[in-house]
Amino acid sequence: MSLLQENALAQPVGTTLDRYIMRAQADFPYATGELSQLLRDLALAGKIVHRDVNRAGLSGIIGSMGQHNVQGEQQQRLDVEANIRFIRALRNGGEACAILSEEEDDIIQTGNYQGQYVVAMDPLDGSSNIDVNVSIGTIFSIYRRVSAVGQKATPADFLQGGRAQVAAGYILYGTSTMLVYTTGHGVVGFTYENSLGEFFLSHPRIMIPATGPVFSCNEGHWFDYPDYVRQFLTACKERRMSGRYVGSLVADYHRNLFTGGIYLYPPTASNPLGKLRVLYENFPLALLIEQAGGRAASDNGPMLDLQPTDFHQRSPLFIGSAGLVAELVELL
Ligand SMILES: O=P(O)(O)OC[C@H]1O[C@](O)(COP(=O)(O)O)[C@@H](O)[C@@H]1O
Ligand SMILES: [Mg+2]
Ligand SMILES: [Mg+2]
């Protein structure tokens, strides 16, 4: 046997997402397994979207749909494709009774009236990067329903507030595809092994450094930012921090989670609520960052304390290393 073969065989067998979820389930003997199944359904849709993203340039699913979504934004073909994939996986999985999607005006009743959970999602985040082969993602947020089981879901199921999330996560379609999630017991990361078709545990306990070298925002909006934001960014530059901005929230967030840093989507004069959506962008990433030891704020207190009133509501977001977010919040 060659040295290469011996080394390969000496590697421990990786932990697949399924096995990890099964073990985690065993730690919670009173849990019924529905949330675990829901995570598997999301991972399955993630694998399909991974495939779609990888061959997008060849299969004709890049480019605009020539139509706008409920928020008045140009829909890309892959936005629509990913939306269909995730809705189908959740509907077939049976655990989600309703879905809220960035791409749909109203909530979608799945017909699974016995389902205990509702899912809010941004099926494809970073749409403007699709056509140029730059990292994009999916973001999801899960609540246990408050409406009666056996009935249709209600708006209240989705408007419980960020601290009511029972799980949240994202899939990054980057140089490798990763699934990162929390069920409120820390943050865990899995990397997709394409040839085996499996997510393998790669990051058992993700923690964000207390501070870091990166600030991320769209500096093109500099002249429209409030004074406190410009003051903060000036201080970052005086400290010779690095400016890094992909323009895909998931990718910017993921990088800063590992390097330490801060991501800002501030209010501007014309958009006092910024651009990002509370239920399927800000809340899930805020839950993850708190679980990873970081911090997330709007311009009005901790992000997770905001009381949502609307499915597609927006809010400013300052998120990342606890020390840097604290510094910015001091200037508010
Ligand atoms: O071009 P801007 O204003 O910097 O906006 C970039 C932000 O908009 C978003 O693309 C919005 O997400 P969608 O692609 O899901 O609409 C974020 O991913 C990203 O961080
Ligand atoms: Mg988005
Ligand atoms: Mg999107």
Residue segments in the chain with a per-residue pLDDT below the cut of 70: 1-13, 28-31, 59-63, 65, 71
Residue nearest to atom 13 of ligand 1 (CA): 125
Give which of 113, 95, 90 is closest to 32, Cα–Cα: 95
Which among 249, 268, 282, 317 is the best mutation to test ligand 1's pocket, defined by most ligand atoms within 8 Å of the CB? 249
Residue with tokens 């997402």: 17
- Structural domains of the chain, ranges and CATH numbers in brackets: 15-203 (3.30.540.10), 214-331 (3.40.190.80)
Is the CB of residue 295 below 6 angstroms from any atom belonging to ligand 1? Answer: no
pLDDT at 272: 97
Q: Write down the pTM of the prediction.
A: 0.94
According to DSSP, the residues that pair with 76 across neighbouring strands are 64
pLDDT digits (tens, 9 = 90+) for 51-97: 999 987 776 666 676 777 776 777 788 999 999 999 999 999 999 99
Q: Predicted ipTM?
A: 0.96
What is the 8-class DSSP label of residue 247? S
pLDDT at 156: 98
pLDDT at 24: 86
pLDDT at 324: 98
Give the number of residues written for the chain.
Answer: 332
**Ligand 2 is a single-atom ion; what residues have CB below 5 A from it?**
122, 125
pLDDT digits (tens, 9 = 90+) for 179-220: 999 999 999 999 999 999 999 999 999 999 999 999 999 999
Residue nearest to atom 4 of ligand 1 (CA): 218
pLDDT at 131: 86
pLDDT at 4: 59
pLDDT at 224: 97
The CA 32 to ligand 2 mean position distance, Å, reads: 31
pLDDT at 69: 74
Q: How far apart are CA 34 and CA 265, in angstroms?
A: 34
Give which of 186, 178, 193, 182 is closest to 11, Cα–Cα: 193
Q: Which long-range contacts (CB under 8 A, 24 or more apart) does 84-87 make?
A: 85/45, 85/48, 85/49, 85/52, 85/123, 86/42, 86/45, 86/49, 86/121, 86/123, 86/138, 86/140
Q: What distance separates the 2 farthest-apart alpha carbons in the chain?
A: 68
CB 149, CB 110: distance < 8 Å? no
